[in-house]
């Protein structure tokens, strides 16, 4: 799939136009995002992703369209895990509800820029040394193991090195100053917690991108599609934050489902290298005839795993609520 430069530029221009519309029209005034507003915007970004996938289908074929949809669903699902961290960050810094949309907007713009650099670096490494897929696959499997190990531990936020350096270099005001990031106090330039939270969102997302981007590369090696997947996933993620923020604790089996997806893609990556050229640094093709899941099977596996995860989580949450209610009734407590 050859992507000309003009298409890259047009895609970036459309993204900038969408961001400008969101900033200048939708978020012109600080406000609390309602469930209805969040739901409409989530549907809007999902519809845009579907239209993009249809466009890929019509211009490049069903295979690349399937790769985009598989990557989009996987990236969006893995990004849901980011919401837990975003929620912890918002709570830790006590971000006012009317400013949370602006924080997520700017923070995710930073995340998109950092992810773009990561995608370019990953694409260059893959083209130069295809055996890196071994590392990607092993890393995804290890990440799945680590996710399962920490699934029952409460999530905490610890400031990273970027934030600690920021606090040392520039003084921070003790409280928010509306939606301002910089203010002048007694002739001294200071930053507000608003900027600190924005940097926290943007840089923390990069940590999650270290596993989600290799996972998408496991479904498509087209850097343009990987970039588009990340754009649509992150643009819809901030609206999803307001839509299901209160329901995150109900998705108790989400770490298990995401771990299964990471293992599936990790194994797929390793099998793909074995089939294509398991020893790329030796002259001559060194392939092993192993089966590799195709795009259609990948889509089915992703959809089934996520569907089972969500349904099982909601059933578990309902069962726990009924059990708690019965215990309260037996104890004579009326909720």
Residue 153's pLDDT is 64
- 212-241 as b/e: b if 16+ CB within 10 A: bbbbbbbbbbbbbbbbbbbbbbbbbbbbbb
Q: What is the DSSP letter of 172?
A: B
- 103-136 as b/e: b if 16+ CB within 10 A: bbbbbbbbbbeebbebbeebbeebeeebebbeeb
Q: What is the DSSP letter of 182?
A: E
| Residue ranges of the chain with per-residue pLDDT less than 70 | 1, 25-30, 151-160, 245-249, 277-286, 332-335
First to last CA, the chain: 59
Residue 49's pLDDT is 93
Per-residue tokens: 194:
């608003």
CA 174, 177, 179, 185 torsion-angle sign? negative
Residue 166's pLDDT is 80
Residue 102's pLDDT is 82
Residue 39's pLDDT is 84
CB 275 within 8 A of CB 289: yes
Taking only the tens place, the pLDDT of each residue in 176-224 is: 887 788 888 878 888 888 888 888 888 878 777 777 888 888 888 889 9
Q: What is the pTM of this model?
A: 0.80
């Amino acid at each position: 799939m050859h992507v000309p430069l003009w298409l890259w530029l047009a895609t970036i221009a459309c993204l900038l136009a969408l961001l400008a519309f969101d900033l200048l029209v939708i978020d012109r005034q600080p406000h609390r995002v309602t469930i209805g507003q969040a739901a409409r915007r989530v549907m809007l970004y999902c519809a845009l992703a579907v239209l993009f996938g249809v466009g890929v289908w019509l211009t490049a074929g069903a295979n690349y369209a399937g790769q985009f949809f598989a990557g989009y669903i996987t990236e969006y699902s893995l990004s849901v895990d980011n919401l837990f961290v975003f929620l912890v960050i918002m709570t830790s810094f006590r971000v006012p509800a009317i400013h949370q949309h602006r924080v997520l907007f700017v923070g995710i713009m930073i995340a998109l820029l950092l992810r773009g650099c990561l995608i370019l670096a990953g694409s260059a490494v893959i083209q130069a040394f295809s055996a890196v897929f071994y590392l990607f696959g092993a890393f995804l499997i290890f990440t799945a193991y680590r996710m399962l190990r920490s699934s029952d531990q409460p999530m905490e936020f610890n400031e990273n090195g970027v934030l600690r350096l920021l606090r040392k270099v520039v003084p921070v005001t003790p409280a928010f100053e509306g939606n301002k990031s910089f203010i002048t106090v007694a002739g001294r330039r200071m930053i507000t917690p608003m900027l600190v939270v924005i940097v926290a969102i943007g840089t923390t997302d990069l940590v999650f991108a270290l596993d989600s981007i290799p996972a998408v590369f496991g479904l498509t090696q087209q850097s343009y599609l990987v970039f588009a997947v990340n754009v649509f996933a992150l643009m819809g993620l901030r609206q999803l934050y307001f839509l299901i923020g209160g329901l995150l604790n109900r998705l108790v089996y989400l770490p298990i489902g995401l771990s299964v997806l990471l293992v599936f893609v990790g194994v797929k990556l390793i099998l793909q290298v074995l089939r294509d050229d398991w020893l790329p640094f030796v002259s001559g093709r060194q392939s092993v005839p192993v089966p590799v899941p195709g795009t259609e099977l990948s889509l089915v596996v992703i959809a089934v795993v996520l569907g089972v995860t969500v349904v099982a989580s909601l059933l578990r949450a309902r069962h726990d609520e009924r059990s708690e209610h019965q215990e309260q009734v037996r104890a004579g407590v009326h909720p």
